Chain A
């Protein structure tokens, strides 16, 4: 995860590049965190000293503006030769991050010298849950093998923590006698916990040992496609026992395995 954030920071550094603007002055465009006590802060966390004669202008018109710098606002900051921000062009509408961040970073003010953060060292391993660049739409093919006693007409669903464990959140479709499949377009970086069921919380899958199954972790990586397969050993509403579904009172004991036998005519 830390590596992910480091990569995001690098990506930001790439998109904030200098705009020469014909005058040779350095400028960067980004989103503001704060403006107070003589400093303006961008979402990179960097704070820059502002010049005493700071000019506030509209990014759109280039003219004077009534806007005041504040959090969430977008701005283009132009630096003077001393490294102070001499002009802020403000916009409420999103602006594309631009400018030479590396060049501007040397003007950022910080009392303490940087200290390496070991938590940001990229970690290897961890599968799709680690080292993922987020934001890419990835087709994820989810295939489950169901217990062999799953009836041909049964419907199978996926329930997840991001759908408040609604047992009918995602419908899977049968692809053969023992497998069901679902293809979802999910953003890379998505992390969710999932279980499978037959449409009710009573039917949520059980473990191979017959006990409650802990949710599976599903992490979406940034590969072109992703396959996710699981085996379901038992359903929670399997007929090994006598658990009744809600509002289904037990029917009288029927010794015949045919519940709807016709009634023969009365004997003479």
Chain B
């Protein structure tokens, strides 16, 4: 591998991805509307495009319309041209006062002026045979009321894909307040197909997305991002989508030495089968130079729908180093770290659909399956025996209740609801080892009014890690930790069976508009007890959040506030912070979790 520059591999991957995407993303059949005018204004809040002065509209079905004014409601999928209208269609030309095209209904309503005004309707693109005098919908030629609307973007040209996208030419965009920033182009997708929204980027505290190119099946975007680990950086993302497949390629971050090359593929060849893959290449390199570190991981997931269940297979393989151990290092000071590991794992499981217990408000779902883990450099040593492959099989079930009303059903917003959830699973390994997990949750909730609601929740997580053949005391050798001059003999009672109890009180207030505040207070009573500084805290993601919610050594008390404030219809700020009551000398979380959603 060291002879093949990673740069070339990356480019090949990118080209392959784009090729695959191009294959699966045929041009959409939706009507394309090309608009030119002296002034085009886009009202993002209402998905309205208004244009004035020398309006020229060309549609993909061969019609060209000129006029004084243009209005289009992207959501209703209809446009209207008014004032000195001239229409050129495959069947001829005609002047008129206004023309409205209801794209979804394949109807064009026209007020022609021949010897006198008239009303014509063209149905299904038949411009040769207008239906004359047909009564038109009352608002056919209405201009929208823009009294309280604010222009988000100005341009002089736009390409509109019906019910899919709009791409403006050189534009001035109101990013914040009334300051308009020039952009060479601006693309916006509003398709009902969610596949173009799929992304392969990690989270960030701030993400400003500039979609500089796109159509009904593709988006090219540059992201301006910030997170607490990588700080400010740029990323690139390419989306391609068709009706039953999509692909996303990204390079994130693109402007730091540590780069992640991501490729996400999804295909549904039939109504009951779906394939998903995710491949990530991590390189450490200056620019696009020779990498001095490279890793790769690939996940493949196959899902087959069954009657009242689904079968899912997963396979993952990971190469911790793609470079040779002593690859020449062309950059002074760079580290060529080599890890020989290339583990893999696979699983095949069935999950059943929810089934109700008779007419009771209780439901159950089950799951079972098997799989393996493999690492030729060793996974685990038990009783002196090293294992490089461990097979496992598992079975589990969940029983839960729908919210059960407690109190009078006549009192709206003042009743109490009870919920209960029980989940249990056992996993057997091919080693003398099995794991039991049980989770039990009860909650009582009350909605005071539309603004305020709260809940009280009690959750118990039992985890038992069992080794047979007398190996339990080897795996969990009892010991008494001593920290800062204090010993904690209670920990010696821990032999691999933990119980985490959490009592939560949550409340949320919303003003139903732009402001939401939630407060969550929790008390943990765990075994083993949370001995300060004994249990390492879990790693956090780039947003500062713990990667897994349940862990040994949680602070006995914590309280978290979360404020979400909508700055405008397209941008929100989310701020949260937790207080730990001096656990491990920790009062507040080291930082606010601050996120701007665009």
Contact = CB atoms under 8 A, between A and B. Distances in A.
A99 interface: no
A139 to B, nearest CB: 6
B201 A246 contact: yes
B525 interface: no
Contact of B513 (A109, A159, A185, A256): A185
B189 A71 contact: no
A220 to B, nearest CB: 12
Given A45-B140, A200-B203, A33 B450 contact: no
Binding site of B, secondary structure by majority: helix, strand, loop or mixed?
strand
Interface stretch (B12-20, B25-33, B328-336, B452-460): B452-460
Contacts of A112: 118-120, 132-133
Interface stretch (A55-63, A77-85, A166-174): A166-174
A152 B299 contact: no
Contact of A34 (B84, B347, B398, B534): B84
Interface string B309-349: 01010111010000000000000000000000101010101
Interface in A1-26: 2, 5-13
Interface in B237-286: 250, 252, 260, 262, 266, 268, 272-274, 276, 278, 280, 282
A107 B273 CA distance: 63
Interface in B533-582: 534-538, 541-542, 547-553, 564, 570, 572, 574
Contacts of A177: 419-421, 441-443, 445, 455, 457
A210 B143 contact: no
A193 B318 contact: no
Given A166-B598, A177-B442, A110 B133 contact: yes
A260 to B, nearest CB: 5
A66 interface: no
Interface in A224-268: 233-234, 240-250, 252-253, 255-262, 264-265, 267
A148 B516 contact: no
Contacts of A255: 379-380, 390, 429, 431, 433
Contacts of A166: 197, 597-598
A175 B445 CA distance: 6
B383 interface: no
B58 interface: no
Binding site of A, secondary structure by majority: helix, strand, loop or mixed?
loop
B305 interface: yes
A108 to B, nearest CB: 8
Given A139-B512, A249-B282, A249-B297, A212 B147 contact: no
A258 B541 CA distance: 19
Contacts of A106: none
A206 to B, nearest CB: 8
Nearest to A249: B297
B220 interface: no
Given A45-B111, A166-B597, A244 B140 contact: no
Nearest to A267: B477
Contact of A33 (B111, B133, B510): B111
A149 B439 CA distance: 9
A184 interface: yes
Contacts of B423: 148-149
Kindly state the interface size class of chain B when it binds its partner: 35 or more
A249 B139 contact: no
Contact of A5 (B140, B315, B518): B140
Contacts of A161: 190-192, 194
A184 B445 contact: no
B551 A260 contact: yes
Interface string B199-228: 111110000000000000000000000000
A161 B199 CA distance: 15
B436 to A, nearest CB: 9
A145 B417 CA distance: 13
Nearest to B262: A246
Q: Which of B105, B453, B549: most chain A CB closer than 10 A?
A: B453
24 contacts: A9-B139, A34-B98, A36-B84, A43-B141, A71-B68, A72-B69, A115-B135, A116-B135, A120-B135, A141-B450, A171-B564, A174-B508, A176-B457, A178-B419, A178-B443, A201-B197, A201-B198, A208-B354, A211-B310, A243-B314, A248-B541, A250-B316, A260-B535, A260-B538
Interface of A: 2, 5-13, 31, 33-34, 36-37, 39, 41, 43-45, 47, 70-72, 94, 109-117, 119-120, 139, 141, 145, 148-149, 151-154, 159, 161-169, 171, 173-179, 181, 183-185, 191, 193, 195, 199-201, 204, 208-212, 215, 233-234, 240-250, 252-253, 255-262, 264-265, 267
Given A178-B443, A209-B310, 5 more contacts: A164-B189, A174-B455, A241-B299, A250-B343, A257-B463
- 4 tightest A-B CB contacts, nearest first: A9-B138, A165-B197, A5-B137, A71-B83
